Structure 1
Amino acid sequence: MNDLDQLKDLDPARGREPSAMEWTRSEAFIERVMAGPAPRSHARRWLTAGAVAVAAGAVAAVAVPALVPGVAEKAVASWTAAPTARTGDQVLPQARACAAGDVGGVTSANAADVLLAEQRGDATLLIMKKAGVIVECLLVDEDQAASMGLIDADAVIAPPAGTVNLETMSSLGDGDGQWSNIVGLVGPQVTAVEVKLGNGTVVQASVKAGWWAAWWPGPEGGEVDTLTVTVHAGDRTTSHLPSELP
């Protein structure tokens, strides 16, 4: 017990009270676990390449990839730093494929369920509502490279004006199929978000319907603070390490 007491004193978060958003995420996670099977893995913010996915906050959201051999490699090979925005109508086949997956429960989808959709090469990234849960899917045509749950739809709280938060940041796969992603909420007045990698590559994120998201080839999503997030809000620009985002 003496050793445990000493370790407790070294805890950098000792005495810290979780924010209202962190409590909301934690409660949403507990409700999901009680309603269905326990998640395969969860952690505070990051996991290394090949891991499931990582949600921000005191407790991570459910995150279960549905890996399809060859699909991730095709997505990575055709990747572009700048995305093309898509509407729900334009990605309805992909939305229905995402809805048919196990993450968040098998259901149907319509165009209105799609909150954010982008195209990078052959791959489509979706943020969409699914049975009361916000999920993310990466697909090539209608084949999923991965899908993961983010947060309960009724637990979404917009950040303050001109700011963003971090909901999930992860790295999956290996070799030619390794890729990273980052997803968060945006507050009012945010017009653009960019991700600058350690090698200087600038990835333009998609921003729509209160969400921002980006993905790219490489391991940075599973590493701590190897990238910078730049937020544009009117004439104000701010840059943050992922660990600095709420």
Structure 2
Amino acid sequence: MNDLDRLAVLDPARGREPSAMEWTRSEAFVERVMDGTARVSTSGPAPMARRWAVAGAAAMAAGAVAAIAVPALVPGDAEKAIASWTAMPASRAGEQVMPQARACAANGVGGNSTAEPSDVLLAEQRGDATLLIMRKDDGIVECLMVGDVDRAASMALTDAGGPPPQAEGTINLETMSSYGDGDDQWSNIVGLAGPGVTAVEVRLDSGALLQASVKSGWWAAWWPGPEGGEVDSMTITVHAGDRTTSYRPSELP
């Protein structure tokens, strides 16, 4: 067994053959890279792949990370979130989500901190699930939680220095992924939004259309399904003033 064989067992998609459509999109992107027409970020290094962690009440009480390194909501929570999901989110102010913000602040992902309404940069409600992007002592994190706020799927987005400013009227892609299996599978997408961006829409190749939340220089959405872990299986449309621009994820910096 050589080194590649040893590494192959760590591949979560080992044995999965991309669909014909995924091959076509991948080949098209490679061609854009080769002919110089692919969009490339010049503002810094590409975002790191990030891992969701699920932290529970015991971890918070202990004041330690103590997170289960699984990229999913715990069983039952995912089912409730997916069953109640809505394509149009309800925006929430920091004051309206303080129980969730306190749980997110204390779960150890991105450090432990207290939470104030001003720490909540973006908050949305889709059915029983609340998604937060909030500032903590060690950086900015995303938390997704359902019902009881003693558990949250959490991900660190930036370090304490924060992200560089996004250009006016543009967005980037910080992270996109999918988790779970079968009917419990869900996806999320998060990025920065520059001044002047008023709305971001995500249209899946299945035809489903969902509205992302945009606030405080961030945009985010989550939905039931596997598309966040697939290659360019959606179109992202950005509205800024009277200008509307659409991208495949691979075209975003």
**Under TM normalisation by the shorter chain, which class is it?**
0.7 to 0.9
Letter in 2 for 1:19: T
- Superposition pairs of residues 25-174 of structure 1, within 5 angstroms: 57=46, 60=48, 62-66=50-54, 67-141=73-147, 142-174=149-181
Taking only aligned residues, the RMSD between alpha carbons, in angstroms, comes to: 1.9
- 1:216 and 2:223 matched: yes
Kept in 2: contact 1:64–1:103 (CA 8 A): no
TM superposition score normalised by structure 1 = 0.76
Kept in 2: contact 1:181–1:214 (CA 8 A): yes
What do the CA deviations read for 1:31-87 (whole angstroms, capped 9, x no partner)? xxxxxxxxxxxxxxxxxxxxxxxxxx2x51543321422111111110000000000
Letter in 1 for 2:42: S
Q: 2:44 aligns with which of 21, 31, 44?
A: 21
Q: Name stretches of at least 5 consecutive residues in structure 1 with no aligned partner.
A: 1-9, 23-56
Helix, strand or coil: the match of 1:127? strand
Shift of 1:116: 0.1
Whole-angstrom distance in 1 between the partners of 2:240 and 2:187? 25
Kept in 2: contact 1:191–1:232 (CA 8 A): yes
Letter in 1 for 2:182: G
Letter in 1 for 2:143: C
Instruction: Give the ranges of 4+ consecutive aligned residues of structure 1 lying more than 2 Å apart after TM superposition.
Output: 17-21, 61-65
Q: Name stretches of at least 5 consecutive residues in structure 2 with no aligned partner.
A: 1-29, 35-39, 55-72
Whole-angstrom distance in 2 between the partners of 1:198 and 1:147? 27
Identical aligned residues as a percent:
66
Whole-angstrom distance in 2 between the partners of 1:216 and 1:18? 27
Helix, strand or coil: the match of 2:161? helix
Aligned residues: 198
Whole-angstrom distance in 2 between the partners of 1:194 and 1:143? 31
Shift of 1:187: 0.8
TM superposition score normalised by structure 2 = 0.74
Whole-angstrom distance in 2 between the partners of 1:219 and 1:203? 15
What do the CA deviations read for 1:132-169 (whole angstroms, capped 9, x no partner)? 31100101131435111111242312221111000000
Of structures 1 and 2, the larger Rg is shown by 2
Letter in 1 for 2:48: A
Helix, strand or coil: the match of 2:94? coil
Letter in 2 for 1:189: G
1:28 alignment counterpart: none
Helix, strand or coil: the match of 2:169? coil
Helix, strand or coil: the match of 2:195? coil
